Amino acid sequence: MTSPAPTRRRDAARTRQLLLEAARARFADDGYAATTVRDIADDAGVNVALISRYFRSKEGLFEACLTTAVDEMRRAAGSATLAEVPQRIAEQAAGIDSGGIPQRLVLLLRSSGDARADEIRIGILRSYADNLATLAGWTGDDDDLLLRAQIAIAASLGIAMLRSKTRLEPLASAGAQELVDPLSDLISGLLERRA
């Protein structure tokens, strides 16, 4: 049993990961500007200076949070049929994975003022909307359908935002179970072409 190093006292990769997780939570909950590097370092249980060492700057750390969140979202996306979409959105918005997934969604709406972060953000949004529009039968020449898909994405983000930032009941405490039916009606009302 020469396991490589389950918990080394000094482990750069682990420290990086701890910082990333703490930062994602803080950025998603409080926003970029309201979050201090000392908050993040304390949450992660590491020294403040290591943020600059591993991520160059606070902005670099935010960008790293955004790109890893986007990567994970892309990986988790997979293909689906239009009928399955509401279930997916409900799961993500409800945060069936405790704490992880809705954080990524809310993070998408957080702005650091950095231009590159904005590009990352808008890139994933566009790709999600294009995907959804394609599932609804979009062939690239129907701007109205794309608009409708983007509205559906906006609705999902709005739900995630409201759930994480307010205690508006029953929305704030609704589980994926209770969200999927309304979301199905929302999506189908928005995207199913009536002949």
Partner DNA sequence: CACTGACGTCAACAGGCGTTTACATCCACC
Partner DNA sequence: GGTGGATGTAAACGCCTGTTGACGTCAGTG
User: What dihedral do alpha carbons 90, 92, 97, 101 form, nearest 10°?
Assistant: -160
Nearer to a copy of itself, 65 or 152 (CB): 152
Q: How far is the CB of 29 from DNA (least distance, A)?
A: 15
Residue type, 38: R
Nearer to DNA, 6 or 78 (CB): 6
| Residue ranges in 136-165 that form contacts with DNA under rule CB under 7 A | none
Task: Tell me, residue by residue from 110 to 139, as one string, x for binding to a copy of itself by CB under 8 A and - for no binding.
Answer: -x-x----x--xx--xx--x----------
Per CB under 7 A, 10 contacts DNA: yes
For 46-75, give one letter per residue: b (16+ CB within 10 A) or e: beeebbeebbeebeebbbbbbebbbeebee
Per CB under 8 A, 176 contacts a copy of itself: no
| Residue ranges in 49-88 that form contacts with DNA under rule CB under 7 A | 49-53, 56-59
Nearer to DNA, 15 or 134 (CB): 15
Q: Which of 185, 167, 35 is CA-nearest to residue 112?
A: 35
Task: For residues 38 and 44, give the distance between their C-alpha atoms in angstroms, rounded to a whole number.
Answer: 10
Whether 82 and 172 have beta carbons less than 8 Å apart is answered as no
Per CB under 8 A, 77 contacts a copy of itself: no
Nearer to a copy of itself, 46 or 187 (CB): 187
Q: What is the DSSP letter of 134?
A: H
The burial of 31, by beta-carbon neighbours within 10 Å (0-12 exposed, 13-18 middle, 19 or more buried), is given as: middle
The binding site for a copy of itself (CB under 8 A) comprises 30-34, 109, 111, 113, 118, 121-122, 125-126, 129, 143-144, 146-148, 150-151, 153-159, 161-162, 165-168, 170-171, 174, 178-179, 181-183, 185-190
